[in-house]
Amino acid sequence: MDRARSGPTPVIAEPSPLVCAGIRWSQSLTALSLGLVWPLLDLAIRLWFGFRLLPVEMMMPLGPLLGLLLAAGFLTQPVAAVTIWYCVTAAVGFAGHAAEIALLIWLTVAGASALSLDRAFAAGARSIALPGVDRVGGWLRGLTALGAPVLLLLMRLLAVLILLAIVRPELGDWTAFLRGGWPPAAVGPALLWFLLASAVLLALGLATRIAALAAGLTLLALSGPAVAGPVLLLAVLAFRGGGHFTLDGWIAGRIAARYPHLFSPPDWDDPRLPHVVIVGAGFGGLSAAKALRQSPCRVTLIDRRNYHLFQPLLYQVATAGLSPADIAMPVRAVFRDQANVRVLLGRVTGVDRAARRVLIGEREVPYDYLILATGARHSYFGKDAWEPLAPGLKKIDDATSIRRRILLAFERAEDCDDPEERAAWLTFVVIGGGPTGVEIAGALVELAHHGLAGDFRRADPTRARVVLVEGGPRTLGAFTESLSAYSRRALEGLGVEIRVGTRVEEIDEAGVVAGGERIPARTVVWGAGVIASPAHKWLGAEHDRAGRVVVGPDLSVPGAPEVFVIGDTCLSTAWNGNPVPGLAPAAKQGGAYAARVIHNRIVGRRPPTPFRYRHQGSLATIGRQAAVVDFGRFRLKGAIAWWFWGLVHVFFLIGTRNRMSVMLEWFWAYLTFRRGTRLITGSEG
């Protein structure tokens, strides 16, 4: 365990913000091109060869067979090598074009990318029970590792010659081999100089991607598919880059040698780096840790659970719409590729500000900077005895417990002989008319009236009664009055009974007393209020009645500039002088801002301007084809708001698997009215 620093944290040099921004933009574009565009381009190249080979010599099956294998990306490297031989010996139409041959050599050396059968079968192929497979695979991987950089250099030089041959066809007949199908003397004076400049940049390997992309788009615009070979060759350079032997690589190497953290996350085991401890793996904590990816620091992320939970969809788990795995992502998987982040599983019990240590039971974790993103829990306004009877919804355990209570209520009603008792089991009370309460009430009605309809013989789920109790004057009080009124009409249209301006006076096992009226109900869900985590007790800091720590303009704790509090745990007036709401976007903005403050301190840069919360809108779904969206001047309601709500929530889910799973579940439920996770799990205690 490293020791807390006794003095100020050392400053680590970094270039100007403009240079840093340029490097990060370049890295982002490179990652996008390699991760998303390149697999599509590689597939396009293989399909292009495949379609050209399919009609060749139909009496001899070798041409079509090679075309099919290349298009599918199966045994790509040996097939591409055979294709070169076949095209040259069989005098196929494109055999005399330099760009096409270069592309086939590239497939021979580099193989196919992600969208291929080779990649799909790679893991199983390595362990296949055939002699020599491992050795052949090793040879092919070695060919790629050693040959790809050299081939990129040769392809770059070939691209230069092709551009020169296109702009100067009078150089001789040999230029036809390079030009392919390009018509001679087809370039005007302005484009002539543009292509010459691109050729010079490609020859130097300077701004290689931009030069190749610009030249390729120009040729495509001038000739269309006539020069597909040269255009695809330039596209390879645009999205794969020029390789190691470029001025781009030399410049990047010089910068990386001086500022290594800008090009790869620092190693967590480097004790010279400042230590940032983040408590809480919610929206704010994850946002802060991700924002420190390229900062010269070590990050320790502590949470008592090993997953990040997408809380806005937790109510769907509680009402059997989704499974817990659909809205949760293991934290370690999120940071698998971020080497400067270490994840610790543990429950924080305190903070020693004087010694700069976070306490996890008897264990101590030193820090140079601390970010507390510990969220909030349910508040029963001094009636904590109600918690076992009316569970709230903050954790997966809460959601599965509520789901169990709801589904068991229908089972108990089915087995009940007393009509009044059955009615009590089929009555559900939701306390709180905010987004959580509204969403649960609407989902409960849909589950009862559609999802469970026809499943029971004695108890009729369609006769279930859902009562929404709100102490304020209207539902969705944070929204405009018109949207609030729409939400009430939509809920009542579904069959929800709404009691506004009604205080809950008592909750017991038999039901709820609200506004002097007893409502017999065996299932009660709490969504009326929250209270912040005990972070203010750990810090001994000023706080409000809800336990939120009062923070300064930079989200740090007054008197402890190295400690930051974000999300539901803090009280910040950065929303035009108003308290920042306890929403996921607010937590994410706060996490990113705190990370920027810490980064600027580490590299000796001026602190950013005070934190300003930018409200991105409020959304709430009510039921099928009914939702409200409030972006200030821009408001939606009804079906279009419902679709918008769904798209936004799918987009902000973490992980492609989760996004696909949620979309499939919703699509199935939309078409069939069925919910697929109606499992009663857990003990009866």
Choose the catalytic residue: 14, 100, 439, 562.
Answer: 439
Are 465 and 424 within 8 A, CB to CB?
A: no
Q: Is 446 a catalytic residue?
A: no
Q: Where in the chain is the domain with CATH 3.50.50.60?
A: 275-378+532-602
The segment with the largest mean pLDDT, out of 260-274, 431-445, 668-682, is: 431-445
Better-predicted residue by pLDDT, 659 or 336 = 336
pLDDT level of residue 127 (50, 70, 90 thresholds): low
d(CA 343, CA 587): 20
d(CA 4, CA 92): 71
CB atoms within 10 A of CB 405: 18
- 578-596 burial, b at 16+ Cβ within 10 Å, e below that, comes to ebbebbbbbbbbbbbbbbb
pLDDT of 192 reads: 77
pLDDT level of residue 669 (50, 70, 90 thresholds): low
pLDDT level of residue 227 (50, 70, 90 thresholds): low
Helix ranges, 168-266 (H): 175-179, 189-204, 208-223, 228-240, 247-258
Read off the pTM: 0.74
Judge whether residue 475 has pLDDT over 50.
yes
Measure the CA angle with vertex 246, ends 44 and 182; round to 5°: 45
Instruction: Give how far the C-alpha of residue 534 lies from the chain's centroid of Cα atoms, to the nearest Å.
Output: 29
CA nearest to 649, candidates 316, 281, 303: 316
pLDDT in tens, 184-226: 445 567 777 888 899 999 999 998 999 999 988 888 877 655 5
Q: What is the DSSP string of 211-232?
A: HHHHHHHHHHHHHGGGGHHHHH
CA nearest to 625, candidates 398, 374, 442: 442
pLDDT in tens, 279-332: 999 999 999 999 998 888 999 999 999 999 988 888 888 888 888 888 888 999
Task: Strand 523-526: give its sheet, edge to edge.
Answer: 497-500, 465-470, 427-431, 523-526
Q: Where in the chain is the domain with CATH 3.50.50.100?
A: 393-527+624-672
Helix (H, G, I), strand (E, B) or coil at 657: helix
Percent with pLDDT over 90 in the chain: 39
pLDDT level of residue 502 (50, 70, 90 thresholds): very high
The segment with the largest mean pLDDT, out of 29-38, 95-104, 401-410, is: 401-410
pLDDT in tens, 250-282: 888 888 888 777 777 677 777 888 999 999 999
Q: What is the DSSP string of 336-403?
A: TT-TTEEEEE----EEETTTTEEEETTEEEE-SEEEE---EEE--TT-GGGTTTS---SSHHHHHHHH
pLDDT level of residue 58 (50, 70, 90 thresholds): very low
- 631-648 burial, b at 16+ Cβ within 10 Å, e below that, comes to eeeebbbeeebbebbbee
Judge whether residue 578 has pLDDT over 60.
yes
CA nearest to 117, candidates 172, 170, 77, 150: 77
- For the chain, the residue count is 685
Are 468 and 491 within 8 A, CB to CB?
A: yes
CA nearest to 295, candidates 10, 4, 596: 596
Min mean pLDDT across 222-231, 289-298, 389-398, 473-482 is at 222-231
For 393-527+624-672, the fitting CATH number among 3.40.30.10, 3.50.50.100, 3.30.43.10, 3.40.50.2300 is 3.50.50.100
As its CATH architecture, domain 275-378+532-602 has 3-Layer(bba) Sandwich (3.50)
Are 555 and 566 within 8 A, CB to CB?
A: yes
Judge whether residue 617 has pLDDT over 70.
yes
| 326 DSSP 8-state letter | G
pLDDT of 221 reads: 77
Amino acid at 324: P
Min mean pLDDT across 2-11, 154-163, 419-428, 442-451 is at 2-11
